């Protein structure tokens, strides 16, 4: 069952007016911002955020906590750099991505979505250069590294054209494969940029900690095959969580 109820939607989607004023003020000066969903990896994520605060000191971040982990961002980064939002339920991967992308796209062209169990190792100037040289010349863009959608950048035009990720792939897996198939129907395809490959990739740490998050893996795979009459791409399969 997908617990993304109407009540949960209301709690989350009033967030801009309640919680994001600092984020929006900061993001107005940037082309991109980073969104990170998390459910049970706060100790690991905290280490990564401390590194991001050094690597990307002027980049705004939104952290979406699906697991009520009691996250405290005190002492990490500049004031207002990291914005924390708590969900009353686990939204799942697709709905979390959709929420973060929508929030970021309010004022920022590029949403940079990153798993909580990876570390990018990119410096701010490297992301700026990547966007300027490789992404800004394209009207619509979705770019990822060699670890699939564990880290990816999507611009506003792409998200508006293709639409949100399908939340019925709950709680995780095959929402990325589905999105790529929907892109292909519009004559679009993602761009693989090696610079977006995380320097540290642990791989499905959330599921190792809570195997129930993987209980719909076979069901979601079958849903994909029924919908598209094809096997999911092995290039992305299983790399987003």
Work out the mean pLDDT of the chain and round it to a whole number: 85
Helix (H) or strand (E) holding 85: strand 82-86
Q: Which residue has the higher pLDDT, 72 or 21?
A: 72
| pLDDT value, residue 5 | 43
Phi–psi pair at 236, nearest 5 degrees: -110, -20
Q: Which residue has the higher pLDDT, 76 or 199?
A: 76
pLDDT at 73 exceeding the cut of 50: yes
**Domain 6-228 is in which class?**
alpha beta
| pLDDT value, residue 14 | 41
| pLDDT value, residue 21 | 52
Spatial CB neighbours of 221, under 8 Å, sequence gap ≥ 6: 173, 174, 232
Exposure string for 167-196, b = 16+ CB within 10 A, e = fewer: bbbbbbbbbbbbbbbbbeeeebebeebeeb
What distance in Å separates the CA atoms of residue 164 and residue 143, rounded to the nearest whole number? 16
What distance in Å separates the CA atoms of residue 52 and residue 78, rounded to the nearest whole number? 11
pLDDT band at 241 (very low <50, low <70, confident <90, very high): very low
What distance in Å separates the CA atoms of residue 193 and residue 114, rounded to the nearest whole number? 15
Is the four-CA dihedral 35, 41, 46, 52 of positive or negative sign? Answer: negative
Domain boundaries, the chain: 6-228
pLDDT at 82 exceeding the cut of 60: yes
Beginning with the edge strand found earlier in the chain, give each strand of the sheet holding 32-38 in spatial order: 82-86, 61-65, 32-38, 110-114, 148-155, 142-145, 191-192
What distance in Å separates the CA atoms of residue 239 and residue 235, rounded to the nearest whole number? 8
């Amino acid at each position: 069952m997908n617990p993304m109820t109407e009540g949960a939607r209301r709690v989350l989607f009033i967030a801009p007016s309640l919680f994001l004023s600092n984020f929006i003020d900061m993001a107005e000066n940037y082309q991109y911002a980073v969104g990170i969903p998390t459910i049970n990896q706060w100790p690991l994520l905290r280490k990564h955020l401390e590194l991001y605060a050094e690597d990307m000191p002027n980049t705004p971040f939104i952290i979406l906590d699906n697991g009520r982990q009691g996250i405290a961002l005190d002492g990490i980064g500049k004031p207002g750099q990291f914005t924390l939002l708590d969900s009353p339920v686990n939204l799942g991967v697709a709905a979390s991505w959709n929420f973060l992308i929508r929030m970021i796209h309010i004022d920022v062209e590029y949403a940079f979505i990153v798993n909580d169990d990876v570390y990018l190792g990119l410096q701010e100037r490297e992301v700026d250069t990547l966007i300027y040289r490789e992404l800004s010349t394209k009207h619509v863009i979705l770019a990822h590294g060699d670890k699939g959608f564990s880290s990816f950048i999507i611009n506003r035009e792409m998200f508006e054209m293709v639409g949100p990720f399908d939340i019925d792939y709950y709680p995780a897996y095959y929402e990325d494969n589905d999105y790529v198939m929907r892109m292909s129907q519009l004559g679009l395809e993602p761009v693989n940029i090696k610079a977006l490959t995380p320097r540290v990739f642990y791989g499905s740490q959330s599921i190792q900690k809570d195997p129930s998050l993987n209980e719909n893996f076979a069901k979601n795979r079958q849903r994909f095959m029924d919908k598209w009459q094809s096997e999911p791409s092995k290039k992305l399969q299983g790399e987003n969580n």
